[in-house]
Structure 1
Amino acid sequence: MRKPRRALATPLAASLVALAACSTSPPAAGRELTVWIMGDGSARFQQLVSTFTARTRVRVDAVAVPWNSIDQKFTTAVASGKGPDVLQIGLSKLRAFAASGALLRLDRRTLDGHPNLAAARFLDGLAGDGTAAGVPWVSDTRVLFYRRDILAAQGITRPPATWEELRATARTLAARGGGAFGYHIPQWDNTLPVIMTWTRGGEIVDGNGKIDFDTPEFHRAVDTYLGLYADGSVPTDADFDQVQGFVTGATPMLVSGPYLADAIESAAPQLKGRWWAAPVPGGHAHTSLLAGSALGVWRAGGRKEDALRLLDYLSEPSTQVAWYRLSGQLPAVKAALDDAALAADPLVAVYSRQLRDARPLPPVPDWDGDTGKALLDALNSIVLTGADREGALRALYAATGGTAARP
């Protein structure tokens, strides 16, 4: 497990422990919630909910689920009819998971009596219309992380502001030799080509609400994406570790989310002051991705009211701020982002600036397993196996064209 982004001894985090200690009553017998937490944050989540247990006498058992295992684990749970009481769901998967019928519909009537779960309290673009199968838990966006020291050693005094500048900077950095590159493209990231399209003023949804990649702006995004590989500026190893690449300086630039800052600070605290973040490069705009995770409630579970109480607690601004302190994941609640202590964090200022120009992926039925997969399959086939560009893109258009993106 990664270490917390900030030491638990902060006043805010310490208050969680103090409040939990105020109660001497043990959790009530039989009142326990099982919560699936994505990634390696279950121990930190367990610490976060100690206050909830002290208040309600409801025990919480946090179970870590790897991101790449959630689809199979969820499918198995649906087939057996036995799932967790609460589960974390990436927003790009929420529509597909909701279609299974296994999640409780969180409409206004269901949420009555839980004021913290009102849609208006969450960041625009994260909350649905009050009938969604999940409530926002954390927000996420993509920014450009860069090694200040390595760029400065090459005479580069500021991060690239356009994709053309980024490509030129990456070539300069790759020319250092000795196994050095200039940039890293995670081969699993199906959002980067979309961001590159948006920042050029393009769309991937046409006027009829259907997916359409065959646009001039997308073609220019592909030019940049493929060009970074053609320049030798990015590694082609599918197992390349983006954190280690950044820490060692092999790949001094990449577009990623705030979780990368947590990983860098944990892996290499000695780099403090030698790296930073900036808005994504652009041209027409600097629009980035608005993403994050939601929390869903198992419809057939017998502890739905306790589950909703937990969601309400997790949506309190103070809890959201505490989770950022523990995990480096951004709040989804607007009031938490406005918290004075959080707003004073210079990295949060970068993220907040980017969130003001960010948008969610199109609401297709299954972005990760369908549209986004087809996008990555096409681009990776070109750069990794030498597939014909035009043929690969035609296959992409055929596979995704006409897919409905419904709100």
Structure 2
Amino acid sequence: MRRLLGTTTAALSSAALVLTMAACTGGDTAEAVEDGGSATLKVWVMGDAGPAFTDLTAAFTEDTGIKLQVDAIPWENVNDKLTTAVASGDGPDVVQIGLSLLPTFADAGVLADLTDVLGEHPALAPSNFPDAVAPENLSTDGVALSVPWVSDTRVLFYRSDILAEAGHDAAPTTWDDMRSVAKDLAQRGEGQFGYYIPLWDNTLPVQYTWQAGGDVVDAEGAVDFRSPEFAAAADHWLGFFEDGSAPTATDWDQTQGFVSGATPMVVSGPYLAKAIRDAAPELDGSWSVTTLPADQTGTSLFAGSNLGIWKTSEHPDEAAQLLDFLAQPDNQIAWYDAVGELPTSSAALTELAGRGDEQLSVYVEQLDDAQTVPMVPGWDLVANEMASALTAIATTGADKQSTLDAFYAKADEIQSNY
């Protein structure tokens, strides 16, 4: 799922599509289904969450009389579905939006202004959410266009049994430790590595930049990679490939690599935990998670999805009621119990952290030191160019400085289109 987001966003972020989206916002109104006089909201959720979402919201329909027509869109079809909707003007009433897509939708003008809604529905108050995703911090020009729904963060997964066999009783906690342990583990023999870096992941170098004490956005809000901190992040990222600690194969399977022990450390999200348990339940007790190794900080990515109301919805008040229902801590916990996606409600996160689940506590702790990707239009296009440049250096021997210089120029060009 996460791997497809970059492709989806890249397509949606093109300048031509943004113009089409903006032009269509004054077009045909998205019609909500009417059933016996009561509104039925069209709701788009992503992935295979439709049945669970329907179960969760049964109480909402019972309490309010508002029916829901839930459409679960497979991740591989998200691009086509959203592209068609924004081009035709016929979207849903409520839509799930990955955080990396939010700037593009904001720039296109297809989402309703929720600024007043936040004050009318207590569960949507910005103070109820971590600062990183508080609605006003994800707004455009002071306009709140979405509310938090589910959260996701990146932590360090590690095979405690393999580290112990190599003489490491604990997971690395600093950049230097990480490099040292990864290099040591890579000495175990042919086909053995210390750390897996997904070459398609366009967020890890950004996280390293944050950890080095910098940012990839300047004071004026423009994307800027020409900084000592990004240079340090790139060197750290590339170093794992230079000393053979990380595999260069583009088709590497992170779950199988972790299960086999070939790559006993990887930075990933909570979804990997389920994949590991499903693939190798016999490894229970032989692996764990911890917060990210730190340089100046240990800042991680705050990922996940928000919910927005389509600008042409004929039932914005009912849609706002649904957003309020989904933001209530009890319902966010029920969603976590049903599908394993972390809440965004601070109260819900606190309650889950008190359950005594060690891994869950690590996720919640890491969310306290996490931030979102830059909320600027075209971000994923820039991030994909960054990942491509670093991958070329790591896997094909491309000249480092000239490749990065070309990337900087491309990033400037992309931003000039917005």
The residue type paired with residue 48 of structure 1 is: L
The residue type paired with residue 298 of structure 2 is: H
1:272-321 Cα distance to aligned partner (Å, 9 max, x none): 22211111111221111222210011222233333222111110100111
Which residue of the other structure, out of 382, 395, 402, is the alignment partner of 1:371?
A: 382
In 2: Cα distance, 1:229 partner to 1:113 partner = 52
In 1: Cα distance, 2:251 partner to 2:388 partner = 16
In 2: Cα distance, 1:123 partner to 1:341 partner = 15
CA contact (8 A) 2:352 2:360 kept: no
CA contact (8 A) 2:102 2:375 kept: no
Which residue of the other structure, out of 399, 404, 408, is the alignment partner of 1:397?
A: 408
In structure 1, stretches of 5+ residues that fail to align are 2-26
Aligned to 1:198: 210
CA contact (8 A) 2:154 2:267 kept: yes
Which residue of the other structure, out of 290, 304, 310, is the alignment partner of 1:298?
A: 310
In structure 2, stretches of 5+ residues that fail to align are 2-34, 137-141
**SS of residue paired to 2:131:** coil
Map of 1:43-62 to 2, 5 A cutoff? 43-62=51-70
Aligned to 1:12: none
In 2: Cα distance, 1:216 partner to 1:310 partner = 45
- Backbone CA RMSD of aligned residues: 2.5
The residue type paired with residue 391 of structure 2 is: N
Is 1:380 aligned with 2:391?
yes
For normalisation by structure 1, the TM-score amounts to: 0.85
Change (3 A) 1:221 1:78: same
CA contact (8 A) 1:262 1:327 kept: no
In 1: Cα distance, 2:51 partner to 2:251 partner = 26
In 2: Cα distance, 1:52 partner to 1:107 partner = 23
Aligned to 2:366: 354
Aligned to 1:264: 276
Deviation at 1:384, TM superposition (A): 2.6
Deviation at 1:49, TM superposition (A): 2.0
Change (3 A) 1:61 1:175: farther
For normalisation by structure 2, the TM-score amounts to: 0.83
**SS of residue paired to 1:299:** coil
Which residue of the other structure, out of 162, 178, 182, is the alignment partner of 1:166?
A: 178
Is 1:117 aligned with 2:124?
yes
Aligned to 2:335: 323
Which residue of the other structure, out of 236, 245, 251, is the alignment partner of 1:233?
A: 245
In 1: Cα distance, 2:267 partner to 2:289 partner = 9
Deviation at 1:77, TM superposition (A): 0.6
Identity %: 49
Aligned to 2:299: 287
In 2: Cα distance, 1:401 partner to 1:29 partner = 52
Map of 1:134-213 to 2, 5 A cutoff? 134-213=146-225
Change (3 A) 1:51 1:133: same
Change (3 A) 1:309 1:40: same
Change (3 A) 1:246 1:53: farther
Deviation at 1:160, TM superposition (A): 1.0
**SS of residue paired to 1:217:** helix
Change (3 A) 1:343 1:221: same
In 1: Cα distance, 2:104 partner to 2:391 partner = 25
Map of 1:63-142 to 2, 5 A cutoff? 63-67=71-75, 69-108=77-116, 110-111=117-118, 113-129=120-136, 131-142=143-154
Is 1:344 aligned with 2:356?
yes
